[in-house]
């Protein structure tokens, strides 16, 4: 199931939606929010990218870059845990009630292994039973396809607009892509 569907169907998602006014006020006043990808609806609780790839002004593009950069760390964390824990390489066929315990245990074992690895390199067993350096297994998901369409284009979010203004005020632009032309040619 997609992340946004899981969020909407979870107890936490229901609580966050029901408490949106007071929760949004607390999050905004504390400068906290949830970072979601383009599949999430724009709201005052979830910071999502501006829709579309082309036609964005430089500050909306810069905001998209910053928002993606913040979100990618959790994507990488999940990728590392999945690569390290073989039990997560296939669907978990167990009662729904047991899933949180299995996932929490996988993250705790992963963190234990990282804390107690004296070399700083986390070795995992891959699909071919060979050792891998977990740092090389994580792919950069920064280039994601943006779901652009009429519905996404109409979504309003004061949070996204405010964060875009903050990116502009700080003068933070997307770094230039180097070597791309030589790679394409």
Give the tens place of pLDDT for each residue, 38-58: 888 888 778 899 998 778 999
pLDDT at 65: 93
Task: For residue 45, give every residue at least 6 positions away whose Cβ sits within 8 Å of its Cβ, in sequence order, or none.
Answer: 16, 20, 23, 24, 27, 33, 34, 159
Q: What does the pLDDT average to over 139-156?
A: 42
The answer to whether the beta carbons of residues 136 and 84 sit under 8 Å apart is: no
pLDDT in tens, 75-124: 888 899 999 888 889 888 999 889 889 989 998 998 888 888 755 554 44
For 1, 82, 86, the CA distances from 92, given in Å and listed in that order, are 13, 12, 11
Q: How far is CA 179 from the centre of its chain?
A: 26
SS3 helix, strand, coil % of the chain, rounded to 5?
A: 55, 5, 40
Which pLDDT does position 59 carry in this prediction?
A: 94
* Residue 31 vs residue 185, higher pLDDT: 31
Q: Is the pTM of this model over 0.75?
A: no
DSSP 8-state secondary structure symbol assigned to residue 155: -
pLDDT category, 176, cuts 50, 70, 90? Answer: confident
Classify 144 as helix, strand or coil. Answer: coil
> Percent of the chain beyond pLDDT 70?
67
SS3 64: helix
| Candidate from 12-21, 63-72, 164-173 with smallest mean pLDDT | 12-21
Inform me whether the pLDDT recorded for 147 exceeds 80.
no
Distance separating the N- and C-terminal Cα atoms of the chain: 39
**Cα dihedral value 80, 83, 89, 95, nearest 10:** -40
Choice between 7 and 17, residue whose per-residue pLDDT is larger: 7
């Amino acid at each position: 199931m997609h992340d946004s569907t899981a969020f909407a169907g979870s107890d936490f998602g229901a609580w966050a939606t029901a408490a949106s006014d007071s929760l949004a006020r607390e999050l905004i006043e504390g400068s906290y929010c949830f970072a979601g990808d383009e599949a999430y609806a724009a709201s005052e609780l979830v910071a999502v990218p501006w829709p579309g790839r082309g036609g964005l002004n430089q500050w909306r593009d810069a905001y998209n870059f910053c928002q993606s950069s913040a979100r990618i760390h959790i994507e990488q964390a999940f990728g590392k845990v999945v690569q390290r824990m073989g039990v997560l390489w296939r669907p978990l066929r167990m009662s729904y009630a047991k899933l949180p315990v299995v996932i929490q245990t996988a993250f705790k074992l992963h963190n234990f292994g990282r804390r107690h690895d004296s070399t700083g390199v986390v070795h995992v067993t891959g699909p071919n039973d060979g050792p891998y350096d977990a740092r090389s297994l994580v792919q950069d998901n920064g280039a994601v396809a943006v779901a652009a369409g009429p519905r996404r284009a109409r979504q309003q979010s004061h949070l996204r607009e405010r964060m875009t203004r903050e990116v502009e005020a700080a003068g933070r632009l997307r770094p230039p892509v180097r070597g791309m032309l030589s790679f394409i040619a």
